[in-house]
Structure 1
């Protein structure tokens, strides 16, 4: 069975890890897997530097050596159709049903008798939903034979749009390289205190990792942290780290300066993904306060490193990865007092972050690239044989 995967950007290291696992395991399922990477990267990642040189091994083609935003729909359609005709797959996996070019490819595939699977990250709350757009979306997904979902909210959303439960072939496929991340984290832990001193950090820290952008709700996080410190019995040991870059960096630094919190809240330079655990090792609790987040792979990353997590209920990962009170807390990002309360639990010592971190490790161990790749291959085989 020949499987063709269409993916938006080459610079997506965890997808590359899964693709490598698919490549490694495919022969055991009597399958052959090839990936079409539409573009090199996306413009929102421009501030993060050049794409990583990925060590992963799988069969792929890069169609356009540029940003995805700079590739026109007609050019995409021509390239995708030409490659599909040349490869002649039995099953096609699309990762962008919102993309007119991929929708056109799906229609052509179905006309040619090729089975189609859609991978989706969308949830009911990650964007504003309108009746007409939802109707169009339901018509598009009705063309697919099966679905791979990032997690439970994504699967439930598809069912709301008319998908049968038996069409959901993989219910959770949002994974990171747990073993690699934990290895880097453990190597960095022995130098934690020395590095904290060198960087002028507190002994205990909350940490956010990601783009400094409006939808990440970081101004609310900083205010909530300040409120928690004011209410805490002994706040002196706790700081807040923001690891990343983005359009709100200047305004966030101005907020920090206005609050006189330069010694408490630190913006740290962005790092490539494989070095992020080195900075996680300087902190104790990950916080993801987003107003909109289809999943939030940084939560996987922190849990792989054995950290508790405080996560907005707008993040798609929250229902599957966060067991409230066991490995962290879930809060409503529109109610800052809930976030303040969560942070205060750790500052005042009511939450045992070491025990919570152990639960995080146990939860995330069930989501590995190997496990997900096997489930995906089983899904390909199931659809291909129907």
Structure 2
């Protein structure tokens, strides 16, 4: 059985199930090498402004090792925040046949790509896009640097069309590109939580016939929740409600804008076990991101798994893959309040319309699952 070493910074809820599934399937032998530190199991997230500790198991069911991080300022916020002198010896000592690196922009991760090139098969998993691409000398230098980085990669696993275009621009050939979709635990989000969802709506004084629009994520500039508040309030429809779920640096400004409007509601960050209830309580998810670097938007996957209509900006990485305009939602022009307002108005004409769009979302997202990621990794490693 071929052995795959997986290099990533810390346990997260979107990758741990894939590692568990790979171990269960038993087609390859895997071991995950975590490079940030064991303390990241509970860490302060600057975006949410609070300690985050996920309430689903992230280390069960697969082999892993935390590698000592000797960085003076440890973290994933800068390239010198991940420094692991013991990483390459650990992978070599485990006698890996292939290595998959998730994210290259850290000293240790780039070092793994460079060291193992032409020694064992090197896979890379990333989700960068060209959505925020700019021209100029700085971008030319970046272009040359990224072409050099990706010369150390044998195969790149891309989650969608926008990332595929990015990899092609930076020198990877079609034969090196492997589709491995971004996914969430569709079954967990789709499980019936309707009784709890009704209780949530009741607690917010939202009538059964009313329409609830949801924003779920960090209250930060990149996700542009301010434009959603502005567009929603401009509609001035008594049967519409907006629920903002999360925390972050824009929280006070958002609450100031919503002050006095009883149909705008706020909830703090909610953990994974609660989020299916939140999604099932809403009728439409809106992700109004303006970037930079909204490379995907997994909240969209989660909402679609709950059979919900979705409205996203054109700066959201998943838009080209998951949104079919008029079929399961729509795409609006980022940073354009009027574009967002018109789309909200068009989508929220009736609950029945949103229900039908949501059913289409459920059908689409069924094909975006952990099994397809596992199969893509297995096929690439064993071929």
- Cα deviation, 1:343-370, whole Å, max 9, x if unaligned, reads 1013333981111111101100011112
SS of alignment partner, residue 9 of structure 1: coil
Moved over 6 A (4+): none
Change (3 A) 1:195 1:248: same
Residue pair 2:212, 2:282 contacting (<8 A) in 1 also: yes
Asked if 1:145 corresponds to 2:154, the answer is yes
Q: Report the secondary structure of 1:173's partner residue.
A: coil
For residues 191-270 of structure 1, what are the structure 2 equivalents within 5 Å?
191-201=196-206, 203-229=210-236, 235-257=237-259, 260-261=260-261, 263-270=262-269
TM-score w.r.t. structure 1 length?
A: 0.88
Which residue does the alignment assign to 1:173?
A: 181
Could you tell me how far apart the structure 1 residues matched to 2:222 and 2:68 are? 29
**TM-score, structure 2 as length reference:** 0.89
RMSD of aligned residue pairs (Cα, Å): 2.2
In the alignment, structure 2 segments of 5+ residues that lack a partner are none
Alignment of 1:264-283 (within 5 A): 264-283=263-282
How does 1:28-47 map onto structure 2 within 5 Å? 29=27, 31-39=28-36, 40=40, 41=43, 43-44=45-46, 47=49
CA distance in 2, matches of 1:69, 1:251: 27
Distance apart, 1:193 and its partner CA:
3.8
1:97/1:141 contact within 8 Å kept: no
Check whether the contact 2:219–2:250 (CA below 8 A) recurs between aligned residues. yes
Structure 1 residues not aligned, in runs of 5+: 230-234
Contact 1:120–1:148, Cα closer than 8 Å, also in 2: yes
Output the CA distance in 2 between the equivalents of 1:252 and 1:300: 25
Tell me how far 1:70 sits from its aligned partner.
Answer: 8.7
Deviations, residues 79-126 of structure 1 (Å, cap 9, x unaligned) = 312312221211110111222321112111125x11111111100124
Distance 1:346 1:15 in 2: 33
Cα distance between partner residues in 2 of 1:91 and 1:290: 36
Distance in 2, Cα, partners of 1:256 & 1:197? 20
Name the CA distance, whole Å, in 1 between partners of 2:68 and 2:206.
43
Q: Distance in 2 between matches of 1:268 and 1:107?
A: 45
Query: Do structure 1's residue 124 and structure 2's residue 130 form an aligned pair?
Result: yes
SS of match in other structure, 1:315: coil
Question: Judging changes above 3 Å, is the alpha-carbon distance between structure 1 residues 306 and 64 closer, same or farther for their aligned structure 2 residues?
Answer: farther
Q: Secondary structure at the match of 2:145?
A: helix
Task: Give, in whole Å, the separation in 2 of the partners of 1:45 and 1:9.
Answer: 17
Equivalent in the alignment of 1:232 = none
Mapped contact 2:76–2:82 kept (Cα < 8 A): no
Residues 90 and 220 of structure 1, relative CA distance in 2, 3 Å threshold: same
